[in-house]
């Protein structure tokens, strides 16, 4: 199932040092800079971006290329 999270949330970029792990949390999402798809940092349903760089389920995300991921904070519209 493909859900466009941009219809539900307003996203704001989060600055973080590139030499540290990506932040996680209930309001933190990852945007794939390759396909611009957004995936939760703690997905409880099967989620993936269109190009396959981000895949998640059961509260964990697998990132194939972290250089192509931008953390964002989501707030309900």
Domain containing residue 38: 5-76
Total tally of structural domains belonging to the chain: 1
**Three-state SS annotation for 37-70:** CEEECCCCCCEECCCCCEEEECCEEEECCHHHEE
Per-residue model confidence as pLDDT tens digits over 14-73: 998 888 899 999 999 999 999 999 999 999 999 999 999 999 999 999 999 999 999 999
pLDDT in tens, 51-61: 999 999 999 99
- Measured between alpha carbons, how far is residue 40 from residues 17, 58 in Å? 20, 11
CA-CA distances (angstroms) from residue 60 to 2, 10, 39, 76?
A: 18, 22, 11, 22
């Amino acid at each position: 199932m493909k859900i466009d999270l941009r219809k539900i949330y307003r996203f704001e970029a989060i600055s973080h040092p590139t030499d540290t792990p990506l932040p996680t949390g209930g309001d933190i999402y990852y945007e794939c800079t390759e396909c611009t798809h957004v995936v939760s940092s703690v997905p409880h349903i099967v989620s993936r971006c269109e190009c396959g760089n981000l895949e998640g389920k059961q509260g964990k995300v697998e990132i194939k290329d972290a250089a192509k991921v931008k953390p964002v904070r989501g707030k309900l519209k």
